[in-house]
Amino acid sequence: MAVDQYLHDRIDRILAQRKVNWSGKKMFGGYCYMVDDKMCLGQYKDGLMARVGPDDADELSQRSGAEQMIHGGRPMTGYLWIEPDGFDSDADLEFWVDRCLAFNPKAKASKRG
Protein backbone atom coordinates (compact mmCIF):
# COMPACT_ATOMS: atom_id res chain seq x y z
CA MET A 1 0.00 0.00 0.00
CA ALA A 2 1.28 3.43 -0.88
CA VAL A 3 1.41 5.99 1.90
CA ASP A 4 -1.23 8.69 1.54
CA GLN A 5 1.13 11.67 1.56
CA TYR A 6 -1.62 14.16 2.38
CA LEU A 7 -2.68 12.15 5.45
CA HIS A 8 0.97 11.62 6.36
CA ASP A 9 1.58 15.38 6.28
CA ARG A 10 -1.51 16.06 8.39
CA ILE A 11 -0.46 13.51 11.04
CA ASP A 12 3.13 14.77 10.96
CA ARG A 13 1.90 18.33 11.56
CA ILE A 14 -0.18 17.24 14.57
CA LEU A 15 2.70 15.24 16.06
CA ALA A 16 5.07 18.18 15.51
CA GLN A 17 2.64 20.58 17.19
CA ARG A 18 2.56 18.27 20.20
CA LYS A 19 6.37 17.91 20.11
CA VAL A 20 6.18 14.13 19.74
CA ASN A 21 9.23 12.25 18.51
CA TRP A 22 8.14 9.42 16.25
CA SER A 23 9.46 7.09 13.60
CA GLY A 24 7.72 5.41 10.72
CA LYS A 25 7.58 1.73 9.91
CA LYS A 26 5.86 -0.23 7.16
CA MET A 27 3.64 -2.82 8.85
CA PHE A 28 0.45 -4.78 8.14
CA GLY A 29 0.52 -3.66 4.51
CA GLY A 30 0.31 -0.07 5.76
CA TYR A 31 2.38 2.51 7.57
CA CYS A 32 2.71 2.82 11.36
CA TYR A 33 3.71 5.80 13.44
CA MET A 34 5.89 4.53 16.27
CA VAL A 35 6.13 6.54 19.50
CA ASP A 36 8.57 5.30 22.17
CA ASP A 37 9.16 2.21 20.00
CA LYS A 38 5.46 1.27 20.21
CA MET A 39 2.77 1.28 17.54
CA CYS A 40 0.70 4.38 18.17
CA LEU A 41 -1.41 4.83 15.02
CA GLY A 42 -1.15 4.12 11.35
CA GLN A 43 -2.45 4.27 7.84
CA TYR A 44 -4.18 1.05 6.90
CA LYS A 45 -6.38 0.22 3.90
CA ASP A 46 -7.16 3.87 3.07
CA GLY A 47 -8.17 4.49 6.67
CA LEU A 48 -6.61 5.08 10.04
CA MET A 49 -5.56 2.42 12.52
CA ALA A 50 -5.95 3.88 16.02
CA ARG A 51 -4.40 2.21 19.06
CA VAL A 52 -6.67 3.50 21.80
CA GLY A 53 -6.45 0.65 24.31
CA PRO A 54 -8.93 -2.01 25.33
CA ASP A 55 -10.58 0.09 28.05
CA ASP A 56 -11.73 2.79 25.62
CA ALA A 57 -12.19 0.85 22.38
CA ASP A 58 -15.86 -0.06 22.88
CA GLU A 59 -16.91 3.49 23.70
CA LEU A 60 -14.81 5.03 20.91
CA SER A 61 -16.11 2.52 18.35
CA GLN A 62 -19.45 4.34 18.62
CA ARG A 63 -17.95 7.45 16.97
CA SER A 64 -18.75 8.06 13.33
CA GLY A 65 -16.56 6.01 11.01
CA ALA A 66 -14.97 3.90 13.79
CA GLU A 67 -15.12 0.13 14.15
CA GLN A 68 -13.15 -2.73 15.67
CA MET A 69 -9.84 -3.25 13.85
CA ILE A 70 -9.67 -6.60 12.10
CA HIS A 71 -6.40 -7.91 10.69
CA GLY A 72 -5.97 -11.35 9.20
CA GLY A 73 -9.56 -12.16 10.09
CA ARG A 74 -8.97 -11.56 13.79
CA PRO A 75 -9.94 -8.58 15.95
CA MET A 76 -7.01 -6.57 17.29
CA THR A 77 -7.72 -5.80 20.95
CA GLY A 78 -7.45 -2.11 21.74
CA TYR A 79 -7.29 -1.02 18.10
CA LEU A 80 -9.94 0.67 15.98
CA TRP A 81 -10.13 1.21 12.24
CA ILE A 82 -11.40 4.62 11.24
CA GLU A 83 -12.81 5.16 7.76
CA PRO A 84 -11.77 8.38 5.98
CA ASP A 85 -15.04 10.19 6.80
CA GLY A 86 -14.19 9.72 10.48
CA PHE A 87 -11.01 11.82 10.27
CA ASP A 88 -11.72 14.10 7.31
CA SER A 89 -11.77 17.26 9.40
CA ASP A 90 -8.63 18.43 11.20
CA ALA A 91 -10.53 18.37 14.50
CA ASP A 92 -11.49 14.70 14.02
CA LEU A 93 -7.96 13.68 13.03
CA GLU A 94 -6.56 15.57 16.03
CA PHE A 95 -9.06 13.75 18.26
CA TRP A 96 -7.83 10.35 17.08
CA VAL A 97 -4.15 11.26 17.24
CA ASP A 98 -4.63 12.63 20.76
CA ARG A 99 -6.46 9.47 21.90
CA CYS A 100 -3.65 7.31 20.52
CA LEU A 101 -1.01 9.49 22.19
CA ALA A 102 -2.92 9.31 25.49
CA PHE A 103 -2.86 5.51 25.43
CA ASN A 104 0.75 5.19 24.23
CA PRO A 105 2.41 5.46 27.68
CA LYS A 106 0.26 2.52 28.86
CA ALA A 107 0.85 0.41 25.74
CA LYS A 108 3.28 -2.49 25.80
CA ALA A 109 6.01 -2.63 23.20
CA SER A 110 6.05 -5.66 20.93
CA LYS A 111 8.54 -8.35 21.62
CA ARG A 112 11.56 -8.17 19.36
CA GLY A 113 12.56 -11.33 17.63
For the segment 24-56, what is each residue's pLDDT rounded down to a tens digit?
Answer: 998 877 899 999 999 999 998 889 999 999 999
Domain count, the chain: 1
- CB burial of 35-45 (b: ≥16 within 10 Å; e: otherwise) equals beebbbbbbbe
> Which pLDDT belongs to residue 2?
72
Residue 80 lies in a domain: yes
Question: What 3-state class would DSSP assign to 81?
Answer: strand
**Whole-number Å distance between alpha carbons of 49 and 4:** 13
For residue 113, pLDDT beyond 50: no
With a threshold of 0.85, does the pTM exceed it? yes
Please state, as a whole number, how many other Cβ atoms lie within 10 Å of the Cβ of residue 65. 17
For residue 111, pLDDT beyond 70: no
Owning domain of residue 56 = 5-106
The tens digit of pLDDT for each residue in 74-103 reads 999 999 999 999 999 999 999 999 999 999
Residue 26 lies in a domain: yes
Residue 101 lies in a domain: yes
Residue 71 lies in a domain: yes
Q: Residues with Cβ < 8 Å from 56, sequence gap 6 or more?
A: 99, 103
CATH number for 102: 3.30.1460.30
